[in-house]
Amino acid sequence: MTGAPLPADIVTLDDYERHAAALIDPASWAHIQQGNTAANRAALARWGLVPRMLRPLDSGSTGTMLFGQAHAAPILLAPVAYQRLAHAQGEIATAQAAAALDTALVASTLSSVGLKAIIQALHDAARELQRPAPPPAWFQLYVQPDPADTLALVRRAEAAGYGALVVTVDAAIKRAEFTLPPGVEAANLAGQAPPRHHTHAHSGQLVFGSALAAQAPTWDTLAWLRRETTLPLVVKGLLHPDDALRARDAGADGVIVSNHAGRVLDGVAPALMLLPAMHAALGADYPLLFDGGVRSGADVLKAMALGARAVLVGAPQYHALAVGGMAGVAHMLHILRTGFELAMAQCGCTSVDQITRDLVIAL
């Protein structure tokens, strides 16, 4: 649908989801919607904003800094796999939209377009738009069964110019994925041997003792990655404060509080419920990011008031891609950015540093 007008009735991210349901094939839609996003969204709905009035709003900025990199707003595009399930251009269209809205993106190991092509599309679009610089681009890493393959991905990301490495640690052991349709593949993993999933003979267990469990990353893996790269190292998928502290002590530069949209573990707690405890453990100066059900600018402000330095948005990328390609993703980001700025203004904030805990109340 690239080039076609966007539906006139789309004013929220929920509207994109509603339209996308009729545009993506049922098997792919079931995969995209897998998990328990409703619990994450319900957790956000259990907090209300507390406006502040009569403050001067004649100037202000949504800008923030993360790992020495300037961000126009504390909103990032989360790593989302196989975006060509939603649109033929996939991650290329998303990168172009990110450049148009000056929004950082995190490219997935399981992208359906290669990591070099994604960042090239981001830079090309920024240059065509005469931006002084492209927005930041980070690379999300799934640790591979063979350490040599993992290190090769890291080196490719470094060479391509990615500005941070996001290591996902909560998806090593999970349910089998669906079969990808023809023409969609994990472009970054082409040529790798498929992972082994069989269990050890006579172990009596289906998961413990399996090749899958044996290949799962550990704290030693994180320490190894810290030694192997000078990029900022961000750990995604932690929910327990003790794990966050251990990651920090192992050299992680930041943590993303995320439950993988409930796709990995049935019954996992909503990410927002753990955010305040993670913030209390790590302290205000440590970069803590949040990923879990954000669908509005008000949601962004709520997460920041509870301790996040920035938020990531995942599934809405699929929805907006399906509806409008690059234009859809750009419009989706515009909705979020505008809503966040309005929420800041209503709460009397002219900078993200002014977003404080007293601006939210449990309902």
Q: Which residues are catalytic?
A: 260
Residues 6+ apart with CB under 8 A from 220: none
Give the whole-angstrom CA distance, residue 11 versus residue 331. Answer: 9
Find how far residue 120's CA is from the centre of its chain. Answer: 20
> Looking up tokens 């990199």, which residue turns up?
69
Q: Which residue has the tokens 């966007």?
A: 6
- Residues forming beta bridges with residue 71, ordered by sequence position: 64
Report the relative pairing of strands 288-291 and 69-71 from DSSP bridges. Answer: unpaired
CA distance 103 to 76: 6
* Cβ-based neighbours of 111, under 8 Å, separated by 6 or more: 81, 82, 83, 90, 91, 118, 186, 187, 188
The answer to whether 57 touches 345, Cβ cutoff 8 Å, is yes
Q: 3-class DSSP state for residue 291?
A: strand
The phi and psi torsions of 330 (rounded to 5 degrees) equal -60, -40
Packing angle of the helix pair 115-128, 91-100 (nearest 10 deg): 30
Residue 90 contacts residue 321 (beta carbons within 8 Å): yes
- Amino acid identity, residue 65? M
Is 77:313 a contact under the CB 8 Å cutoff? yes
24 contacts: CB under 8 Å, gap ≥ 6: 32, 85, 86, 318, 322
Residue 101 in tokens: 């809205």
Residue where the block lists tokens 């993506």:
24
Start-to-end Cα distance in the chain: 41
